[in-house]
Structure 1
Amino acid sequence: MAFSQRIELRQGQSLVMTPQLQQAIKLLQLSNIELAEYIEQELEKNPLLQRDDGEQSGDSPESASESSSEDLNLDDGARLSEAQDNLDAPHEDAYESDGPSDEAVTAHGAASASSGAGASPSSGGGEDFDFESVLTTEKSLKEHLKDQLNLSSWTVADRLIASQLIEDVDDSGYLRVDLDQSAEQLGVELEQVERVLLACQSFEPTGVMARSLEECLALQLKEMDRFDPAMQALLENLALVAKHDLSALSQKCGVDRADVLDMIAEIKALTPRPGAAFAGDAAQTVVPDVFVRELPHGAFGVELNSDTLPRILMDRTYYAEVSAHAKRDAEKEFIEECAANANWLIKSLDQRARTILKVAQEVVRQQDAFFVHGVAHLRPLNLKTVADAIGMHESTVSRVTSNKYLSSPRGLFELKYFFSAAIASTGGGESHSAEAVRHRIKALIDTETLDTVLSDDQLVDELRGFGIDIARRTVAKYRESLRIPSSVQRRRAMRQSA
């Protein structure tokens, strides 16, 4: 077979992911906290972007109108039609957006630019200034350990090793690091690291810098002089303690049943998280992206949380001034690139807000029974159902529902909470949501007594009485996901507590 070269012309179609499209997709899946961090980075990189603090002082009327148009505000009629287009015709009156503010679908900023400009009477020196509120701070666990290290008379090398180990302690007081890796990183022998760790484990609180729960409890028992071979055997079989298998524990520890109960009582009196009493890293508060509130006529209004939407705009006055003074081609190219990126970012933020509102409105419409009656009436819902209803792709709905939260009269929920698998009905009727079935299983188990403990087979029969067609293995899987022990373990625990 002979090989030859020739030129052919072919025509085809392909989807190219431009940087702007990649940015829009990235913005869609960011949480409001991640979005705020991303906007901060963009404000630092792009000199044409600025926060919209709501003031246009010093600008001409023309520039003010241009900035307003760049801010992409929607008029009331556009917003209402946008909200109603996402709802099926029979439900248009029941699920209206109920007028989010002009900023609700605009790029918003969580913090005002003027918040740090003026000092309030209580923020500076004065008669009403509270010095204790500034000077008094709660000490963290790492600071507490370092204070004890500073009081020791160790060598410089041991101090450096101990300082590194303290940095690897988590908020619960456990050491989450491989000692081999630490020794290699510090350039010392493993035996030296282990020796320093053993000395650090004598610090307060007792049990700190343990590498496992068993080691943490053992350190506390040694401090109390209660760590004997029987107690050591008990700590090595904590899984049996969780199962309340007293017979197996009695054999493992070599003591009778009464002694095992006494030893378990001693363990329960210990502290499994020795660092919990100290200040840890401040947890980030979950801020809802969407508000759902009940309207007077019994329907539900859906509104974006304007505080989570960054408010930014493009400074056209500065853009015109810089463009006029640009001499070299590289300068002009840089300015034009900044202008294009600023415009695209503002439009992407606007589109992100619109998409979140669309998805949230459809989710609320689909799950109206949940908001009225509770979790037992949660309907099965998948991404495709919502995507088809609002004319979007499933991947877009998936990105929107990731790390987005909805605040309603029934509480704060992640949008993904409302998506669950369908469980068939025994009578061929409407399917049941998997989350609703979990709730039903927990409710049945919560009403148990010692004489009415339900096995998984009995739970299946009870659920079928409610019209839920479910297999035993599915009940067992849902029960385990709720961290509920088996019927044998529940009955044994009830007998012991009685």
Structure 2
Amino acid sequence: MNMGLGLYQEQTLKLVMTPELRQAITILQFSAVDLVSYLQEQANENPVFELQEAAMEAAPAKMEKQQPEIDWKEVIGNRATGEYSSGKNESTYNPLDFVHQGNMTLYEHLESQLGYIKSFTPAQRRIAQFLIGNLDEKGYLEITLEEAAERMGVELNEAEDVLVVIQHFDPAGVAARSLEECLLLQLRHLALDDEAIVQVVTHHLQDLADCRFQRIADKVGCTVQEVQAMADLLRTLNPRPGAAFSHVDTRYVIPDVTVEKVGEEYLVLVNDVATPRLKINSFYEKMLNQQKSQDEAKQFIHEKLNAAMWLAKSLEQRRLTLMRVTQAIVDMQRDFFDRGVHYLKPMTQKEIAEQVGLHESTISRATSNKYVQTPRGLFELKYFFTSALSTAGGEATSSESVKRRIKLLIDQEDRKQPLSDQKLSEMLLEEGIEISRRTVAKYREEMMIPSSAKRKRF
């Protein structure tokens, strides 16, 4: 056997991850909201094109069976209009402009009420402002009264008197130092602080959370029904009174795809009207056409123009992929759209990939963080990919439809004798669905339904 070094020529095929390909993959997995942010970042880096806000209006358009050839130079560099438009019939109407956004913080809300307390001395008002400033986002006092009195240089009883006044402010339960005190403050506000419920909140709150009603009844000296009524009352209280003033940015879900029923058919519409339009900057367009422009400047503009063209191609490819994937999902889940969630079929990404002729990873990216508006509501595209459970007839049913069946059985149960996980498993087996007790418990917990012991009514 001869061994030695040598040079050989060999032809191989391999996929090269170019920046353009990486960009197309990145754009495909963006949701509608994230895509807008990405385009804004690209516009900041590429001066050749600008973004024009498009109207957020649902403009139905029929899906074309055969997509025509696209002239990308015309798309990105239309000399007549100078813009790339993602939709027609745009208007300036934006429904998000009419959403109310409160700006008052918990500190401002409490300080405004502090202005109505005329009996406070300047020193007491200073203590009140200090205590209000040390409330966390849930409305609880973060520091102890001893620490507050020491920092303010006042007596402990002075700080306690001011705290009592603040605890009468709106919202009820604010400035509490523990969950027990927060609930007691709300009970006093409602004039429902009888001796029994105060004892339950003070000493048996954990037993109440674990639904150990008989144990609480024996210690408090009342019936189990009375303890359960106390639990029902406490569930109506707010354990986080300051949360209503926590201004967290609300992220609204904008559907990427819309499915509309027209006659007996379902039409798939890609909601790209929310995507800003790409427009060529007229200044750079003139520089490109000028003969006196420097070669370096022209080369720079050409590079940025090519980048803009690739961006437009990626946007169009994303639109076509979303349309094809959603149409395949609609075709396979036709019974769901016609008859409801109980007819949702088990489906995998591999099946959709084979149907549309794409790789499974592409299907995963195309359905990631995407939402579809259907006649039956708003769903995440991943919702339609469910695992299969076997039935007595040898057929398969989706896990999501089984979850809905479990929820329906629990909703119809006798609250005095709730159905256990084993009983639910047996009832589903009678309907032809083979499922174990552990799987029933798993699905029940995923739907945030408590166990039969905690659902029992006395």
Say yes or no: does 1:18 pair with 2:3: no
Q: Aligned AA for 1:205?
A: P
Partner of 1:80: 65
CA distance in structure 2 between the partners assigned to 1:244 and 1:357 by the alignment: 50
CA distance in structure 2 between the partners assigned to 1:386 and 1:484 by the alignment: 32
Partner of 1:123: none
Aligned equivalent of 2:381, options 394, 415, 421: 415
1:403 shift after superposition? 2.2
1:294 counterpart SS class: strand
Q: Aligned AA for 1:108?
A: S
Once the two structures are superposed, the pairs formed by residues 288-299 of structure 1 within 5 Å of their partners are 288-296=255-263, 298-299=264-265
Q: Aligned AA for 1:344?
A: W
Distance 1:434 1:212, change over 3 A: farther
Partner of 1:471: 436
Partner of 1:482: 447
CA distance in structure 1 between the partners assigned to 2:211 and 2:351 by the alignment: 46
1:413 counterpart SS class: strand
Once the two structures are superposed, the pairs formed by residues 10-159 of structure 1 within 5 Å of their partners are 15-51=15-51, 79-82=64-67, 108=86, 139=104, 141-147=106-112, 153=122
Q: Aligned AA for 1:477?
A: K
Distance 1:144 1:443, change over 3 A: same
Aligned equivalent of 1:441, options 384, 406, 419: 406
What's the CA shift string for 1:262-285, capped at 9, x where partnerless?
A: 754653453334246669557343
Distance 1:114 1:440, change over 3 A: closer
Note the residue ranges of structure 1 that are not aligned, 5 or more in a row: 1-5, 55-74, 84-105, 117-132, 181-187
Partner of 2:217: 250
1:371 counterpart SS class: helix
1:477 shift after superposition? 1.1
CA distance in structure 2 between the partners assigned to 1:208 and 1:326 by the alignment: 68
Distance 1:282 1:111, change over 3 A: farther
Once the two structures are superposed, the pairs formed by residues 90-489 of structure 1 within 5 Å of their partners are 108=86, 139=104, 141-147=106-112, 153=122, 165=134, 169=137, 173-174=138-139, 199=163, 202=167, 203-208=169-174, 213-214=179-180, 216-221=182-187, 226=193, 231=198, 234=201, 237-250=204-217, 254-257=220-223, 260=227, 263-264=230-231, 267-268=234-235, 270-275=237-242, 283-296=250-263, 298-315=264-281, 318-321=284-287, 324=290, 326-327=293-294, 329=296, 331-332=297-298, 334-428=300-394, 430-450=395-415, 453-489=418-454
1:204 counterpart SS class: coil
Distance 1:241 1:137, change over 3 A: closer
What's the CA shift string for 1:40-77, capped at 9, x where partnerless?
A: 333343322134689xxxxxxxxxxxxxxxxxxxx99x
1:360 shift after superposition? 0.6
TM-score w.r.t. structure 2 length? 0.72
1:412 shift after superposition? 1.4
CA distance in structure 2 between the partners assigned to 1:368 and 1:278 by the alignment: 44
Identity of aligned residues (%): 36
Assess if the C-alpha contact under 8 Å between 2:28 and 2:318 holds in 1. Answer: yes
CA distance in structure 2 between the partners assigned to 1:156 and 1:45 by the alignment: 52
CA distance in structure 1 between the partners assigned to 2:366 and 2:405 by the alignment: 29
1:422 shift after superposition? 0.5
Assess if the C-alpha contact under 8 Å between 1:425 and 1:468 holds in 2. Answer: yes
Distance 1:473 1:315, change over 3 A: same
Q: Aligned AA for 1:310?
A: P
CA distance in structure 2 between the partners assigned to 1:453 and 1:229 by the alignment: 28
CA distance in structure 2 between the partners assigned to 1:111 and 1:143 by the alignment: 44
258-267 vs 446-455, greater mean Cα deviation: 258-267
CA distance in structure 2 between the partners assigned to 1:160 and 1:7 by the alignment: 84
1:357 shift after superposition? 0.7
1:7 shift after superposition? 11
Across the aligned residues of Structure 1 and Structure 2, the Cα RMSD in angstroms comes to 4.7
Assess if the C-alpha contact under 8 Å between 1:109 and 1:310 holds in 2. Answer: no
Distance 1:295 1:18, change over 3 A: same
1:36 shift after superposition? 1.8
1:396 shift after superposition? 1.8
Distance 1:482 1:248, change over 3 A: same
What's the CA shift string for 1:312-364, capped at 9, x where partnerless?
A: 243477334257465484x4554334223211211111111111111110110
2:20 counterpart SS class: helix
CA distance in structure 2 between the partners assigned to 1:81 and 1:351 by the alignment: 14
Distance 1:463 1:192, change over 3 A: farther
What's the CA shift string for 1:293-313, capped at 9, x where partnerless?
A: 2232x2212121242333224
Q: Aligned AA for 1:293?
A: E
Assess if the C-alpha contact under 8 Å between 1:369 and 1:377 holds in 2. Answer: yes
Distance 1:455 1:319, change over 3 A: same
Assess if the C-alpha contact under 8 Å between 2:184 and 2:201 holds in 1. Answer: no
Assess if the C-alpha contact under 8 Å between 1:53 and 1:112 holds in 2. Answer: no
Distance 1:229 1:427, change over 3 A: closer
Assess if the C-alpha contact under 8 Å between 1:302 and 1:361 holds in 2. Answer: yes
TM-score w.r.t. structure 1 length? 0.67
2:318 counterpart SS class: helix
CA distance in structure 2 between the partners assigned to 1:206 and 1:110 by the alignment: 52
CA distance in structure 2 between the partners assigned to 1:417 and 1:204 by the alignment: 41
